[in-house]
Each structure stands twice: as structure tokens, then as C-alpha cells.
């Protein structure tokens, strides 16, 4: 009988029982690439695929965290379990009111059916780290009905949100209507639901109209109904937003679009795994080999050409050889 030296079996049991400490520990293992990470992911995998994966993105201070808190409370009342991951390029909670964010997060994370975690991106503009998706799988296996990922709308991590979410909520504010760049930067295509938050400020209607017109020209899958005005701080428009989210998800399920998207997410995941494996294992192995070092010396002396070096490397490496032969 195989022994479970790393305690992964026990950890998995804890995760499946929605134990918060087990979930936290598992995410730490994944985040730091600790031993057992791959086994852990494989062991929970068959228990995933049930949660609705929601990405929330938009500029700093737009009210994303406030909105998330409100929709979380709404779903909690329906008896749902909610997992939240706050992704931030720099510190855990920047943008908006830092102190307010901390207190808010503390308030909801103390609730039994909520799990909150903040995680880093790959780097300021490097997009989402694969650990975000892995953490979502742990939360999924832990029986969360909804998993919400908040990303700050700057750089690649905003666009990357579509790589981990079934539903993407794009949060804007009335003033953003003046800044046409926001609309132009390709983010219209990634949103499923558009929120004009801070609708207590002037220009909300203008922004709503603008978004609706943009939707018509950008995404044939969407309709006017996917634009909602909210005042998150006052809990206004939250019921409407929930209804839009539910309708969108339902429509996605019945039309088979959800299955298609989930499959696309899996494709990205598998591709990431293969890519990382190549980068970390195969490529590093080649780079550290004596043959590589010898070839490098020869290159420096101009005794060999780069592509000839590649051919020589392939003689020692089956995978490279297969690629070169186009198999
Ligand atoms: N006036 C107004 N302020 C809001 C609204 N929603 C959130 N806020 C405030 O805007 C600030 C930033 O909110 P936060 O949720 O942290 O934004 P995030 O950076 O997008 O997560 C906080 O001080 C909130 O209280 C709203 O609808 N109207
Ligand atoms: Mg926030």
C-alpha cells in the first residue's frame, strides 16, 4: 500500500469536506509549487466542474470588491457556498479604500460558507498566474457553488480573466464613458455582463447607453439585458445583477455554450501544463546538458551554426527529434 508521506490524502479529504484550513493549506502548496502539488491537483480533479466560475474585472476603485461583497451576501442567503480570490499585481488589496477592503474581506471571510484568498499575478503586466486556476479547482472540489475572481483592470491579467471564468463581469463607472480607451482596448469582447457601478454619480445613463451600443457592434451573443446599473455601496441594483447573471448562466447551460467554454478552459489548462513541463523539465534538461555546453563553446568559436546545433541536439533528444521531423 502506498504511504502518503506528504499527507496529500488527508488534505484531499479535508478539501472535500469543505474544511477551510485544508483548502488554505492546499492553495499554499500550489502557490509555492511545493512537493505533492501535481498529485493534489490530480486527486481533486474528478470532483471539480460543478462551480460557476465568475471573473470580475474593471479599473481600480470601480467598486468590484464592494459588488462582490453584496452578491456574496445575496448568495449566502440562498444557502450557497462562495469562494473568492482577489488577484492583485502588487499588494493584496490596493486601489479603492485599502483599510475598507481589509475590514470588508474580514467580515465576509469570517462567515462559514465563504472562503477568501488573495493571490499575486505573475508580475505587474504578466497576466494571471496558473496558480489562480489551480486554487479555483481546490475551491471547486471543496463544494463552492460560486467562485469569484477579482482582477484589477490593468494589463494582461484583465484580458486573461476569460481563461479561467465561465462568466466575466466587467465593472465600469460613469466617468469611464469619457475615456474611450477603456472601451477600445479590446475588453468589450471579454465581458458577458457589464456593470455601470457608482450610478449615483452623473453620467451613469450616458455610460449605460454607450455600453449598450458597443455591445451591439462587438458581441453577437449579448443583448442590452447584459448591462446593469448599480450603486454597490448602497446595495442598489444587486438583485437585478443577480438576475442577469442567473439568466446568462442558464442561457449558457441550455444552449451548450457553457460546455464549450468549460472545454476551452480545460484546453488552456492542459496546454499550460504541457508548456510548463517543457519549459521546466525538457528545456532546462537540455540547457544543463554537457552537449548543450559543448555546442555553445563551438558556437562562440564559430565552429558550428545555430541550426546545425539544433540538429545535433535532436540526435540526443527524442522529443526534439520528433518535432524536427514533424511527427
Ligand atoms: N459613490 C459610490 N461609491 C462606491 C460605490 N461602490 C463602491 N463605492 C466606493 O468606492 C470605493 C472603492 O470600492 P472598491 O469596492 O474597493 O473598488 P475596487 O477597487 O474596484 O474593488 C470604496 O470607497 C467604496 O465604498 C457606489 O456605487 N457609489
Ligand atoms: Mg478590490
Q: Distance between CA 199 and CA 204 in Å, rounded?
A: 5
On whether residue 319 sits in a domain, the answer given is yes
Which of 255, 283, 306 lies at the terminal end of a domain, its last residue? 255
Mutate to test the pocket of ligand 1, among 232, 234, 238, 240 (most ligand atoms within 8 A of CB): 232
Ligand nearest to the CA of 200: 1
- The CATH number of the domain where 104 resides is what? 3.40.50.300
Closest Cα to atom 13 of ligand 1 = 63
Q: How many angstroms does the Cα of residue 101 sit away from the middle of ligand 1?
A: 10
**164-180: pLDDT as tens digits:** 899 999 999 998 766 65
**Predicted confidence (pLDDT) at residue 34 exceeds the cutoff of 80:** yes
CA-closest residue to ligand 1 atom 14: 63
Q: Are residues 197 and 153 in the same domain?
A: yes
Question: Quick one: which atom of ligand 1 is closest to the CA of 66?
Answer: 15
Picking from 210, 232, 255, the residue at the C-terminal end of a domain is: 255
Residue 201 forms part of a structural domain: yes
In a domain, 293, yes or no: yes
Instruction: Enter the C-alpha cell of residue 311.
Output: 540538429
65 shares its domain with 145: yes
The verdict on 216 and 277 lying in the same domain is: no
How far is the centre of ligand 1, averaged over its atoms, from the C-alpha of 16 (Å)? 35
158 alpha carbon – ligand 2 mean position (Å) = 13
Residue nearest ligand 1's atom 28 by CA: 198
pLDDT at 124: 46
Range in 136-150, 215-229, 261-275 with the lowest mean pLDDT: 215-229
* Same domain, residue pair 284 and 313: yes
In a domain, 148, yes or no: yes
274 with 244, same domain? Answer: no
Considering only CA atoms, which residue is closest to atom 11 of ligand 1?
96
Residue 13 in domain? no
Sheet of strand 227-229: strand arrangement = 114-120, 82-88, 146-152, 52-58, 167-172, 193-196, 227-229
Question: Are residue 298 and residue 149 in the same domain, yes or no?
Answer: no
Q: What is the pLDDT of residues 60-77, one digit of tens each?
A: 889 999 999 999 999 999
* Shortest-distance atom of ligand 1 to CA 231: 27
pTM of the model: 0.86
Q: Residues 209-254: pLDDT tens digits? A: 888 887 777 666 667 778 999 999 999 999 999 999 999 999 999 9
Helices 20-31 and 37-45 cross at an angle (nearest 10°) of 130
Same domain membership, residue 165 and residue 191: yes
How far apart are the CA of 62 and the centre of ligand 1, in A? 6
Task: Pick the atom of ligand 1 nearest to 69's CA.
Answer: 15
Biggest alpha carbon–alpha carbon distance for the chain: 73
Q: Is 136 contained in some domain?
A: yes
Ligand showing the shortest atom-to-Cα distance for residue 174: 1
- Domain with 66 in it: 48-255
Strands 146-152 and 114-120: unpaired
* Nearest of 73, 136, 145 to residue 109 by alpha carbon: 73
| Mean pLDDT (whole number) for 288-313 | 95
Q: Quick one: three-class SS letters along the chain?
A: CCCCCCCHHHHHHHHHCCCHHHHHHHHHHHHCCCCCHHHHHHHHHCCCCCCEEEEEEECCCCCHHHHHHHHHHHHHHCCCCEEEEEEECCCCCCCCCHHHHHHHHHHHHCCCCEEEEEEECCCCCCCCCHHHHHHHHHHHHCCCCEEEEEEECCCHHHHHHHHCCCEEEEEECHHHHHCHHHHHCCCHHHCCEEEECCCCCCCHHHHHHHHHHHHHHHCCCCCHHHEEECEHHHCECHHHHHHHHHHHHHHHHHHCHHHHHHHHHHHHHHHHHHHHHHHHHHHHHHHHCHHHHHHHHHHHCCCCCHHHHHHHHHHHCHHHHHHHCCC
Say yes or no: 85 and 178 in one domain.
yes
Pick the ligand that lies closest to the CA of residue 104. 1
Reading the block at residue 229, the C-alpha cell is: 446599473
Is 12 within the bounds of a domain?
Answer: no
Which of 55, 57, 58, 61 has most ligand 1 atoms within 8 Å of its beta carbon, as the pocket-test mutant?
Answer: 61
pLDDT band at 272 (very low <50, low <70, confident <90, very high): confident
Q: Please state the domain count of the chain.
A: 2
Residue that terminates a domain, selected from 205, 236, 255: 255
CA of 222 to the centre of ligand 1 (A): 26
Residue 59 lies in a domain: yes
Give residue 42 CA to ligand 1 midpoint distance, Å: 39
**Ligand 1 atom 9, closest CA:** 63
What lines the ligand 1 site, CB under 6 Å?
58, 60-66, 95-97, 100-101, 197-198, 200, 231-233
Which ligand sits closest to the CA of 173?
1
Amino acid at each position: 500500500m502506498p504511504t502518503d508521506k506528504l499527507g496529500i490524502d488527508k488534505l484531499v479529504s479535508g478539501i472535500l469536506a469543505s474544511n477551510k484550513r485544508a483548502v488554505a493549506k492546499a492553495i499554499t502548496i500550489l502557490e509555492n509549487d511545493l512537493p505533492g502539488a501535481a498529485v493534489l491537483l490530480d486527486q481533486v480533479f474528478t470532483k471539480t466542474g460543478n462551480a460557476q466560475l465568475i471573473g470580475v474585472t474593471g479599473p481600480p476603485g470601480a467598486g468590484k470588491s464592494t459588488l462582490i461583497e453584496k452578491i456574496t451576501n445575496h448568495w449566502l442567503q440562498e444557502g450557497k457556498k462562495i469562494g473568492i480570490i482577489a488577484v492583485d499585481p502588487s499588494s493584496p488589496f490596493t486601489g479603492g479604500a485599502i483599510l475598507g477592503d481589509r475590514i470588508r474581506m474580514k467580515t465576509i471571510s469570517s462567515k462559514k460558507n465563504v472562503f477568501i484568498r488573495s493571490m499575486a499575478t505573475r508580475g505587474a503586466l504578466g497576466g494571471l498566474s496558473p496558480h489562480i486556476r489551480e486554487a479555483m479547482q481546490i475551491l471547486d472540489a471543496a463544494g463552492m457553488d460560486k467562485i469569484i475572481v477579482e482582477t484589477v483592470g490593468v494589463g494582461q491579467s484583465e484580458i486573461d480573466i476569460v481563461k479561467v471564468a465561465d462568466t466575466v463581469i466587467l465593472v465600469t463607472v460613469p466617468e469611464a464613458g469619457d475615456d474611450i480607451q477603456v472601451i477600445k482596448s479590446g475588453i468589450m469582447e471579454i465581458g458577458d455582463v457589464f456593470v455601470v457601478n457608482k450610478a449615483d454619480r452623473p453620467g451613469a445613463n450616458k455610460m449605460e447607453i454607450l455600453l449598450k451600443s458597443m455591445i451591439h457592434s462587438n458581441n453577437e451573443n449579448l443583448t442590452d439585458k447584459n448591462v446593469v446599473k448599480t450603486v454597490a455601496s448602497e446595495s442598489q441594483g444587486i438583485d437585478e445583477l443577480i438576475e442577469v447573471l442567473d439568466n446568462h448562466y442558464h442561457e449558457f447551460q441550455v444552449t451548450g455554450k457553457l460546455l464549450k467554454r468549460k472545454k476551452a478552459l480545460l484546453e488552456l489548462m492542459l496546454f499550460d501544463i504541457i508548456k510548463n513541463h517543457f519549459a521546466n523539465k525538457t528545456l532546462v534538461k537540455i540547457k544543463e546538458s554537457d552537449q548543450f555546453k559543448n555546442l555553445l563553446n563551438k558556437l562562440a568559436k564559430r565552429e558550428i551554426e545555430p541550426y546545425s546545433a539544433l540538429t545535433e541536439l535532436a540526435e540526443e533528444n527524442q522529443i526534439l527529434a520528433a518535432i524536427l521531423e514533424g511527427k
